[in-house]
Amino acid sequence: MEMTVEGQKAYLLACQLPSGAFRLSPKSDQINPYFANLALISLVQLREWEPVRRYVDWYLHHVGEHGYINDFRLKGTEEVDTGKADSEDSYHATLFSLLAAWIRASKETEWLTYRGKELAALMQAVGRLQQKDGLTWAKRSYRVKYLMDNCEVAKGFEDAAFVFSMLGDEDAEQEAARRAAACRKGIRSMYCPRRKSFAVYDNRYPGWRKWYPDVTSQAFPIMYGSAPPDEAASLYAKITEAFPHFETFQTGDLYPWMSMGEAARLMGDWRRVETMLSTAVDLYIYGPRIPYWLIHESGRFMELCLASGRGGGS
d(C-alpha 208, C-alpha 219), whole Å? 12
Name every residue whose Cβ is closer than 8 Å to that of residue 288 and which is 6 or more positions away in sequence.
none
pLDDT tens track for 75-84: 999 999 999 9
pLDDT tens track for 202-257: 999 999 999 999 999 999 999 999 999 999 999 999 999 999 999 999 999 999 99
d(C-alpha 111, C-alpha 128), whole Å? 27
Q: What is the pLDDT of residue 3?
A: 76
Kindly tell me if the per-residue pLDDT of 66 is higher than 90.
Answer: yes
d(C-alpha 193, C-alpha 125), whole Å? 33
Q: What is the pLDDT of residue 301?
A: 98
Q: What are phi and psi of 214, to 5 degrees?
A: -65, -60
Q: What is the pLDDT of residue 179?
A: 98
- Tell me the whole-structure pTM to 2 decimals: 0.97
Q: What is the pLDDT of residue 135?
A: 98
d(C-alpha 137, C-alpha 309), whole Å? 38
What is the percent of the chain where pLDDT is above 70? 98
State the alpha helices, DSSP H only, in the chain.
2-13, 33-45, 49-61, 89-106, 110-113, 116-127, 147-167, 170-189, 216-217, 220-223, 229-242, 259-266, 270-280, 295-307
d(C-alpha 275, C-alpha 211), whole Å? 19
pLDDT tens track for 155-186: 999 999 999 999 999 999 999 999 999 999 99
Count of residues making up the chain:
314
Confidence of residue 311 (pLDDT cuts 50, 70, 90): low
Q: What is the pLDDT of residue 1?
A: 61
Kindly tell me if the per-residue pLDDT of 64 is higher than 60.
Answer: yes
Q: What is the pLDDT of residue 158?
A: 98
